[in-house]
């Protein structure tokens, strides 16, 4: 089975640019999570979708961040405009149910210059 697929693997862009991160969850999983990981703050939940509906977006830092899940096999996380403090590794994870172990993608390493 294919795991969670994220793209791009690396993104380097200048401050102010729009950044779009993509995620394809494992087929049949109804829960999708976006996380951000930094040395200072560890692994933080940004947003949780259940059956394509956002359930908890309390971790989204500010209005510059938005996430969508138009269908069960695709989700995006967008940052506009990007800032240097957004530099981090962004993970997407999916699970069969919300309270089951999550399967993580390999992450997108984002650097904002």
Partner 1 sequence: EDKVVQSPLSLVVHEGDTVTLNCSYEVTNFRSLLWYKQEKKAPTFLFMLTSSGIEKKSGRLSSILDKKELFSILNITATQTGDSAIYLCAPLGAKTSYDKVIFGPGTSLSVIP
CB of 111 to partner 1, least distance (A): 17
Nearer to partner 1 by Cβ, of 9 and 83: the residue is 9
Cβ(96)–Cβ(31) below 8 Å? yes
Nearer to partner 1 by Cβ, of 9 and 85: the residue is 9
Positions that interact with partner 1 (CB under 8 A): 4, 42-45, 48, 50, 55-56, 91, 98-107
CB of 82 to partner 1, least distance (A): 23
Nearer to partner 1 by Cβ, of 70 and 101: the residue is 101
Q: Is 51 left (phi over 0), alpha (psi -120 to 50) or beta?
A: left
Distance of alpha carbon 50 from alpha carbon 2, whole angstroms: 20
Q: How far is CA 94 from the centre of its chain?
A: 11
């Amino acid at each position: 089975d294919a795991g969670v697929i994220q793209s791009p693997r690396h993104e380097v862009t200048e401050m102010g640019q729009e950044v779009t991160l993509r995620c394809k969850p494992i087929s049949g999983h109804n829960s999708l999570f976006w996380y951000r990981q930094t040395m200072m703050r560890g692994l933080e939940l940004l947003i949780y979708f259940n059956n394509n509906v956002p359930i908890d977006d309390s971790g989204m830092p500010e209005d510059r961040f938005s996430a969508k899940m138009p269908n069960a096999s695709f989700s995006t996380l967008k940052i506009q405009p990007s800032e240097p403090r957004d530099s981090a590794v962004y993970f997407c994870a999916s699970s069969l149910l919300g309270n089951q172990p999550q399967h993580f993608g390999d992450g997108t390493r984002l650097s904002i210059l």
